């Protein structure tokens, strides 16, 4: 008999980083950052003007801490850190933009002011658009809406996709046939057609973007989760749970889902970028978020006609580059995560 | 010409191989020496992670991006392979050195016909014409004893069985007429009776083609059957090398001795002579102790001597070819029996707890597509299974793949319903009671231990939470503090440190995971535990610990153990009664004693002969089965074994279901052979008395 001596291991003193890396503290931080931002964007009209300026205050330190923790935990992957930096640049901008010394993004000051011009006592760092609104202020304010709606839409799509994927994969049989058939039908529509159909039918609003993105993305997510479930459900530990008489719901959520998390997280990052593109495109087509509040898609749409002449191209390029940097950030994180998961 | 004048086919001199990772240089093999003469077969044996496969890869010069030879030399026919150019190496690989891997399916291209793949070898290496290549391939297939080479040439890999695939891989390796054949666990993925055929073939090869062999295996029995010399490896070092006979009977390294006393050989007995596992664990490659790597686990460790410097390989006697890496081998009294582990009185069995009568499980599969409504086929996974299990009894269900043992476990656990018959647990009939409809009480009385330690625990949850879930689920304890206490108790029982409760499964070794699996199975105080090959995926020294653990818990809790296995050595050691199954039917059942001595069922006889035994004093009667196990979806109508049976009687065996012959009370053989013939059978395994200077196995009186 192997005598395994129990070596008393005194728990190493928990550093602040270790404490912050605990799932619980991460969740608290994310919520502290995300909830104010979400409320600020989604329920902008119904929040009293006395509270609104202070709403985003707790989000700023949370975002900064999260960024620090992220950089320290992913320091082995430079790619992931570049992605993280891009994302958190926009996140920190999103939560701190009310407190930055910016002019009102909707106030016309000097139309067609070029980059670096000083007109009407205002220094236009990134110029002004054709209505004379400050491009810098509009670009920075614009990230709020893209981020909030993009992430919300992706999360909802994931929720729906995971539920159906787990049911189809684990229960199989008729469940699988019906769900897969519906998914195939949805996947066979060109995505843009699907978006336009839904938005035309339901009307243009942020919540309807969520619905449209869910319809477009959930089938693909369902296929991924279904495949992962197929893979995992023949493992012995699932067999053990079954022979313990566990409820199928518990097996799906507690035993199967956590083991699918790796590929799901990587895919979610890629899909976030994809959703951002979709939202910007919808707004560009006039089907998404409505003017006058700044939004990148909207800015591109409004600038589209003017920007045909090269000296005004900046009106188009600035929001376009902003979108690209955000999407690039999500994609780089996905790449970095995949790389890190392959190493271990 | 004497052996010493010949040039060795392969010689490794002080070979050191390292892998370079983010954590730095990890030495995988240290100071490895080997001399292989033409026609010689050399075995390399060791547990997982000891570097035996790395040696093979280094010989093939196939180390990957992050591995490299950091010292010593590899001489192939007298030339140093490290100085050869890439072009030269490519020419040697595949034509003069060939390798056969563990997983035959992974070595064959699934999208190419076998004939094409085989023909590539002579076309590429010798530039012969296609017709010639095809002809030679076909001849080679015949010489590895594949039936109907023509058909196999035209098949894709998935169309033939695993045993046949491995024969094709061996044929492919032999096609270029290599000087050296490396076999890396070539039979580990195969069934025992199929394995026996491959082993036979490998022995023929070295005799017929004069090929030198390096046979890598974890199984000492297989090495004994195939090789003439042997190197035992431990943690990247060769610890002992010499002639098979010498090493097997006069081992001079404590690790080799530990290895031998942890494998079940005839004579070991779970009560009177329990196996001894080697304590502790294999050190991690970057955390090896100084001096002797085996030091911390060795009974003969002397501080100040064993933990100093780098130990050399020493000849046991001057001029002998028996080397050992131990500074104290001359001081250890090898004739003294190793310290004995505890003896126990046999466990008294109690009342009947499980009564299976005439249980059948048939699956219907639709052949052809659902649209065409093709004919339905019935797979008889279990056919009229009948047996009883008593309290505290160990019943082994033995059989090869496709024999229906896993189906039986599923029916018992309530994941499948039986087609016919009864499965009586106390007064509950489980045959058609799915697990959802079983009461908590019934479920908790029946638990299972799984085969694959890497699959048995959910990687996402901590060890403690997985055990405590069972405790709470079955209502053993509800109070969180008491649940935790119970988890700790269970960890104590399976001899794991208590702080393992907080660990994730990936931080545990295979043996440790299997212990957690056992703790989980016993968490609900079950009456019956089904153990599905619980030790087959573990290293031998860990196997001994786990089997010992199972018996200890059984003795304590009076649990009935249904032990499903294909390994007759382990079964012989553990089981009180044995059920031999083949293609869903019981071929023979009886006590362990009855199964292992005549009269035998012909299948049992072949099975016994196929199991490699690592004991030079054991003589086996050779019965090598031809053919493969038929598909369970299309079994022969009469006796399922008739296609491979050496005693087959045409017209009877293949048409009529064999009668159940009761040879002794509760010893039943299902065979057409008459009683007199069965009784006249000779024993397969005989133990010859031998002069053993160290009574390791038999122990002192």
How far is CA B426 from each of CA B177, B356, B388, B553, rounded to the nearest angstrom?
Answer: 63, 11, 12, 22
| A202 falls within a domain | yes
Tens of pLDDT along A119-153?
777 777 787 777 778 888 888 888 888 888 889 99
Q: Chain B: residue nearest A343 by CA?
A: B22
Give this prediction's pTM.
0.79
CB-CB under 8 Å, A4 with B280: yes
Among B280, B440, B466, whose Cβ lies nearest the Cβ of A2? B280
Query: What integer pLDDT is reported at residue A124 of this predicted model?
Result: 77
Task: Indicate the DSSP class of residue B232.
Answer: E
CB-CB under 8 Å, A245 with B415: no
Task: Indicate the DSSP class of residue B457.
Answer: S
B609: left (phi over 0), alpha (psi -120 to 50) or beta: alpha
| A172 falls within a domain | yes
B331 C-beta neighbours (distance < 10 Å), count: 10
How close A330 comes to chain B (CA, Å)?
A: 25
**Chosen from A12, A231, A237, A265 to mutate, greatest number of chain B CBs within 10 A:** A237
pLDDT above 50 (res A9): no
3-state secondary structure string across B380-447: EEEEEEEEEEECCCEEEEECCCCCCHHHHHHHHHCCCCCCEEEEEECCEECCCCCHHHCCHHHHHHEE
Three-class SS state of B460: coil
A185 C-beta neighbours (distance < 10 Å), count: 10
Query: What integer pLDDT is reported at residue A161 of this predicted model?
Result: 94
Q: How far apart are CA B327 and CA B305, in angstroms?
A: 8
* Token pair recorded at residue B5: 């004048």
CB-CB under 8 Å, A246 with B443: no
Tens of pLDDT along B351-391?
888 888 888 888 887 655 445 555 667 778 888 888 888 88
Contact at 8 Å (CB) between A29 and A62? yes
Closest by CA to B446, choosing from B430, B460, B458, B432, is B430
Closest by CA to B198, choosing from B208, B190, B206, B209, is B190
B chain contacts of residue A259, beta-carbon cutoff 8 Å: 458-460
Task: Indicate the DSSP class of residue B375.
Answer: P
Among B413, B461, B469, whose Cβ lies nearest the Cβ of A243? B413
CB-CB under 8 Å, B473 with A244: yes
Q: B181 has which bridge partners?
A: B98, B213
Work out the pLDDT band at A87, boundaries 50, 70, 90: very high
Contact at 8 Å (CB) between A229 and A260? yes
Residues B501, B502, B506, B510, Cα dihedral to 10°: -20
Q: For chain B, first and last CA: distance in Å?
A: 48
H or E, element range at A182: helix A173-188
How close B274 comes to chain A (CA, Å)?
A: 9
| A41 falls within a domain | no
| A119 falls within a domain | no
A chain contacts of residue B457, beta-carbon cutoff 8 Å: 237
CB-CB under 8 Å, A259 with B495: no
Query: What integer pLDDT is reported at residue A155 of this predicted model?
Result: 92
Closest by CA to B342, choosing from A145, A9, A3, A149, is A3
How close B518 comes to chain A (CA, Å)?
A: 12
Among A237, A245, A258, whose Cβ lies nearest the Cβ of B457? A237
Q: Is the dihedral of CA A144, A147, A153, A155 positive or negative?
A: negative
A chain contacts of residue B467, beta-carbon cutoff 8 Å: none
Query: What integer pLDDT is reported at residue B701 of this predicted model?
Result: 34
Q: How far apart are CA B30 and CA B291, in angstroms?
A: 13
Q: How far apart are CA B542 and CA B510, in angstroms?
A: 9
The residues of chain B scoring below 50 in pLDDT are 1-3, 369-370, 691-701
Q: Chain B: residue nearest A236 by CA?
A: B456
The angle subtended at Cα A171 by Cα A169 and Cα A175, nearest 5°, is 85
Q: Is B642 buried (19+), middle (13-18) or exposed (0-12) by CB count in 10 A?
A: buried
- Sequence-ordered alpha helix ranges (H) in B32-113: 52-60, 86-92, 104-107
Among A4, A235, A244, whose Cβ lies nearest the Cβ of B470? A244
Q: How far apart are CA B260 and CA A198, in angstroms?
A: 72
DSSP assignment string, B144-165? TT-S-HHHHHTS-GGGS-HHHH
How close A251 comes to chain B (CA, Å)?
A: 11
Closest by CA to A94, choosing from A149, A141, A39, A161, is A141
Query: What integer pLDDT is reported at residue A6 of this predicted model?
Result: 43
| A183 falls within a domain | yes
Q: Give the up-direction half-sphere exposure of residue B378: CA atoms within 13 A in the CB hemisphere.
A: 10
pLDDT above 90 (res A158): yes
Q: Residue A250's domain spans which residues?
A: 142-343
Q: How far apart are CA B75 and CA B87, in angstroms?
A: 17
Closest by CA to B198, choosing from B163, B153, B151, is B163
CB-CB under 8 Å, A4 with B447: no
* Token pair recorded at residue B163: 């045993």
Among B461, B499, B520, whose Cβ lies nearest the Cβ of A9? B499
A chain contacts of residue B495, beta-carbon cutoff 8 Å: 1-4
Work out the pLDDT band at A162, boundaries 50, 70, 90: very high
Interface of A with B (CB under 8 A): 1-7, 9, 235-237, 239-240, 242-246, 255, 258-259, 261, 343
Q: Count of domains in chain A?
A: 1
B542: left (phi over 0), alpha (psi -120 to 50) or beta: alpha
Query: What integer pLDDT is reported at residue A224 of this predicted model?
Result: 92
A chain contacts of residue B452, beta-carbon cutoff 8 Å: 236
Query: What integer pLDDT is reported at residue B694 of this predicted model?
Result: 43
How close A10 comes to chain B (CA, Å)?
A: 10
B chain contacts of residue A4, beta-carbon cutoff 8 Å: 279-280, 495-497
Percent of chain A with pLDDT over 70: 93
CB-CB under 8 Å, B460 with A261: yes
A242 C-beta neighbours (distance < 10 Å), count: 20
Tens of pLDDT along A256-279?
988 888 888 888 888 888 888 888
ipTM > 0.95 (yes/no): no
Contact at 8 Å (CB) between B263 and B275? yes
Query: What integer pLDDT is reported at residue A5 of this predicted model?
Result: 43
The label of the residue with tokens 């199975």 reads: B521
Q: For chain A, first and last CA: distance in Å?
A: 32
Backbone angles phi, psi at B208, to 5 degrees: -80, -45
B chain contacts of residue A255, beta-carbon cutoff 8 Å: 458
Backbone angles phi, psi at B533, to 5 degrees: 45, 55
Query: What integer pLDDT is reported at residue B207 of this predicted model?
Result: 82
Query: What integer pLDDT is reported at residue B147 of this predicted model?
Result: 77
CB-CB under 8 Å, A2 with B455: no
B355: left (phi over 0), alpha (psi -120 to 50) or beta: beta
Three-class SS state of A250: helix
**Chosen from B278, B410, B460 to mutate, greatest number of chain A CBs within 10 A:** B460
Q: B586 has which bridge partners?
A: B581
Task: Indicate the DSSP class of residue B32.
Answer: E
B424 C-beta neighbours (distance < 10 Å), count: 17
Q: Is the dihedral of CA B214, B218, B223, B225 positive or negative?
A: negative
Q: Give the up-direction half-sphere exposure of residue B426: CA atoms within 13 A in the CB hemisphere.
A: 8
Tens of pLDDT along B246-286?
888 888 888 888 888 888 877 777 777 777 778 777 787 77
How close B698 comes to chain A (CA, Å)?
A: 18
| A223 falls within a domain | yes
| A184 falls within a domain | yes
CATH of residue A198's domain is 1.10.3720.10
How close B277 comes to chain A (CA, Å)?
A: 5
Q: How far apart are CA B236 and CA B46, in angstroms?
A: 9
Q: How far apart are CA B25 and CA B17, in angstroms?
A: 10
How close B612 comes to chain A (CA, Å)?
A: 24
CB pairs under 8 A between A and B: 81
A chain contacts of residue B474, beta-carbon cutoff 8 Å: 244
How close A171 comes to chain B (CA, Å)?
A: 13
Three-class SS state of A227: helix
Query: What integer pLDDT is reported at residue B373 of this predicted model?
Result: 55
Mean pLDDT of chain A: 83
Give the largest CA-CA distance in chain B. 79
Q: How far apart are CA B541 and CA B175, in angstroms?
A: 38
Residues B394, B398, B404, B406, Cα dihedral to 10°: 50
Measured in whole angstroms, how far is the alpha carbon of residue B449 from the centre of its chain? 18
Percentages helix, strand, coil for chain A (3-state, rounded to 5) are 75, 0, 25
B498 C-beta neighbours (distance < 10 Å), count: 16
Percent of chain A with pLDDT over 90: 19
Q: How far apart are CA B184 and CA B99, in angstroms?
A: 8
Among A7, A245, A258, whose Cβ lies nearest the Cβ of B443? A245
A230: left (phi over 0), alpha (psi -120 to 50) or beta: alpha
CB-CB under 8 Å, B545 with A259: no
The whole-number average pLDDT for the span A205-233 is: 89
Higher-pLDDT residue of B318, A184:
A184
B38 C-beta neighbours (distance < 10 Å), count: 16
How close A342 comes to chain B (CA, Å)?
A: 13
A chain contacts of residue B552, beta-carbon cutoff 8 Å: 1
Q: Chain B: residue nearest A6 by CA?
A: B497
Q: Chain B: residue nearest A260 by CA?
A: B460
How close A329 comes to chain B (CA, Å)?
A: 26
Task: Indicate the DSSP class of residue B7.
Answer: P
CB-CB under 8 Å, A243 with B414: yes
Closest by CA to B206, choosing from B16, B40, B348, B330, is B40
Query: What integer pLDDT is reported at residue A7 of this predicted model?
Result: 46
B475 C-beta neighbours (distance < 10 Å), count: 11
The label of the residue with tokens 């009574």 reads: B695
Closest by CA to B414, choosing from B429, B440, B433, B428, is B433
**Chosen from A173, A240, A257 to mutate, greatest number of chain B CBs within 10 A:** A240
Q: Provide CB contacts within 8 A for A335, sequence distance 6+.
A: A79, A80, A83
Backbone angles phi, psi at B81, to 5 degrees: -70, -20
Three-class SS state of B311: coil
* Token pair recorded at residue B173: 């390796």
* Token pair recorded at residue B561: 């153990």
| A104 falls within a domain | no
- Sequence-ordered alpha helix ranges (H) in A45-172: 52-55, 59-73, 78-96, 135-166
Contact at 8 Å (CB) between B334 and B694? yes
């Amino acid at each position: 008999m192997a005598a395994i001596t129990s070596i008393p291991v005194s728990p190493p003193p928990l550093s602040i980083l270790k404490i912050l890396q605990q799932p619980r503290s991460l969740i608290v931080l994310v919520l502290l950052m995300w909830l104010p931002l979400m409320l600020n964007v989604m329920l902008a009209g119904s929040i009293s003007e006395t509270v609104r300026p202070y709403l985003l205050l707790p989000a700023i330190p949370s975002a900064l801490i999260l960024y620090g923790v992220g950089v320290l935990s992913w320091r082995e992957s430079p790619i992931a850190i570049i992605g993280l930096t891009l994302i958190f640049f926009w996140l920190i901008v999103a939560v701190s933009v009310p407190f930055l010394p910016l002019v009102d993004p909707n106030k016309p000051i000097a139309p067609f002011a070029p980059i670096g011009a000083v007109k009407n006592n205002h220094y236009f760092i990134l110029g002004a658009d054709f209505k004379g609104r400050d491009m810098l202020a509009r670009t920075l304010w614009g990230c709020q809406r893209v981020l909030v709606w993009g992430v919300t839409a992706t999360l909802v799509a994931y929720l729906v996709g995971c539920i159906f994927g787990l049911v189809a994969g684990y229960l199989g049989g008729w469940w699988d046939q019906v769900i897969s058939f519906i998914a195939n039908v949805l996947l066979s529509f060109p995505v843009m057609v699907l978006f336009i159909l839904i938005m035309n039918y339901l009307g243009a609003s942020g919540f309807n973007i969520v619905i449209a993105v869910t319809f477009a993305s959930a089938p693909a997510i369902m296929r991924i989760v279904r495949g992962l479930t197929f893979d995992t459900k023949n493992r012995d530990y699932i067999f053990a749970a079954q022979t313990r008489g566990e409820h199928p719901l518990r097996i799906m959520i507690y035993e199967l889902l956590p083991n699918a998390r790796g590929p799901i997280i990587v895919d979610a990052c890629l899909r976030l970028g994809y959703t951002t593109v979709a939202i910007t495109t919808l707004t560009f087509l006039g089907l998404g978020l409505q003017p006058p509040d700044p939004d990148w898609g909207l800015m591109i749409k409004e600038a589209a006609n003017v920007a045909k002449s090269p000296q005004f191209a900046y009106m188009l390029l600035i929001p376009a580059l902003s979108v690209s940097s955000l999407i690039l950030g999500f994609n780089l994180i996905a790449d970095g995560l995949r790389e890190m998961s392959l190493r271990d | 010409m004497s052996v010493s004048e010949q040039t060795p086919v392969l010689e490794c001199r002080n070979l050191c191989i390292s892998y370079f990772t983010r954590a730095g240089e990890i030495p995988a093999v240290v100071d490895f020496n080997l001399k292989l003469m033409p026609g010689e077969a050399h075995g390399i044996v060791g547990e997982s992670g000891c570097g035996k496969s790395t040696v093979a890869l280094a010989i093939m010069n196939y180390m990957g991006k992050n591995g490299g030879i950091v010292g010593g030399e590899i001489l192939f026919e007298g030339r140093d392979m490290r100085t050869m150019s890439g072009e030269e190496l490519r020419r040697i690989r595949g034509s003069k050195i060939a390798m056969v891997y563990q997983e035959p399916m992974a070595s064959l291209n699934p999208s190419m016909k076998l004939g094409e793949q085989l023909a590539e070898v002579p076309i590429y290496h010798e530039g012969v014409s296609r017709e010639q290549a095809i002809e030679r391939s076909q001849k080679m297939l015949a010489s590895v004893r594949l039936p109907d080479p023509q058909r196999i040439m035209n098949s894709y890999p998935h169309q033939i069985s695993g045993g046949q695939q491995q024969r094709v891989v061996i044929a492919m390796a032999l096609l270029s007429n290599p000087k050296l054949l490396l076999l890396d666990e070539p039979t580990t993925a195969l069934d025992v009776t199929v394995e026996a055929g491959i082993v036979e073939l490998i022995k023929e090869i070295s005799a017929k083609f004069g090929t030198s062999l390096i046979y890598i295996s974890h199984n000492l029995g297989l090495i004994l059957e195939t090789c003439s010399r042997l190197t035992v490896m431990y943690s990247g070092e060769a610890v002992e090398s010499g002639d098979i006979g010498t090493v097997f009977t006069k081992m001079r390294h404590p690790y080799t001795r530990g290895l031998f006393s942890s494998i079940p050989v005839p004579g070991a007995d779970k009560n009177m002579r329990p196996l001894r596992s080697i304590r502790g664990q294999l050190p991690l490659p970057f955390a090896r102790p100084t001096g002797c790597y085996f030091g911390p686990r060795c009974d003969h460790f002397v501080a100040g001597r064993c933990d100093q410097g780098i130990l050399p390989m020493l000849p046991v006697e001057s001029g002998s070819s028996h080397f050992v890496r131990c500074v104290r081998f001359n001081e250890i009294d090898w004739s003294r029996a190793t310290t004995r582990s505890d003896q126990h009185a046999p466990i008294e069995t109690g009342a009947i707890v499980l009564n299976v009568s005439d249980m059948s499980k048939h699956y219907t599969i639709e052949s052809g597509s659902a649209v065409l409504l093709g004919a339905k086929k019935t797979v008889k996974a279990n056919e009229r299974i009948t047996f009883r299990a008593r309290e505290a009894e160990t019943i082994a269900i033995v059989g090869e793949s496709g024999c229906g043992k896993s189906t039986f476990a599923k029916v018992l656990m309530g994941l499948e319903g039986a087609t016919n018959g009864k499965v009586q647990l106390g007064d509950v009939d489980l045959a058609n009671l799915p697990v959802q409809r079983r009461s908590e009480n019934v479920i908790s009385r029946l638990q299972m231990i799984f085969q694959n330690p890497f699959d048995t625990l959910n990687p996402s949850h901590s060890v403690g939470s997985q055990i405590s879930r069972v405790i709470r689920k079955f209502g053993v304890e509800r109070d969180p503090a008491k649940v935790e206490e119970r988890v700790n108790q269970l960890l104590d029982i399976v001899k794991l440190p208590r702080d393992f409760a907080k660990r994730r499964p990936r931080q545990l070794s295979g043996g440790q995971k299997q212990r957690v699996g056992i703790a989980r199975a016993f968490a609900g105080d079950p009456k019956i535990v089904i153990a599905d090959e619980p030790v087959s995926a573990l290293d031998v020294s860990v196997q001994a610990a786990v089997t010992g653990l199972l018996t200890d818990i059984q003795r304590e809790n009076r649990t009935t153990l249904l032990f499903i296995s294909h390994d007759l050595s382990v079964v012989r050691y553990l089981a009180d009664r044995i059920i031999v199954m083949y293609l869903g039917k019981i071929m023979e059942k009886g006590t362990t004693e009855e199964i292992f001595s005549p009269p035998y069922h012909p299948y049992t006889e072949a099975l016994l002969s196929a199991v490699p035994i690592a004991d030079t004093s054991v003589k086996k009667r050779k019965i090598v089965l031809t053919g493969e196990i038929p598909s369970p979806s299309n079994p022969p109508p009469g006796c399922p074994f008739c296609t491979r049976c050496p005693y087959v009687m045409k017209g009877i065996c293949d048409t009529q279901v064999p009668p159940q012959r009761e040879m002794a009370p509760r010893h039943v053989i299902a065979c057409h052979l008459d009683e007199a013939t069965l009784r006249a059978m000779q024993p397969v395994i005989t133990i010859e008395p031998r002069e053993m200077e160290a009574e390791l196995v038999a122990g002192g009186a």
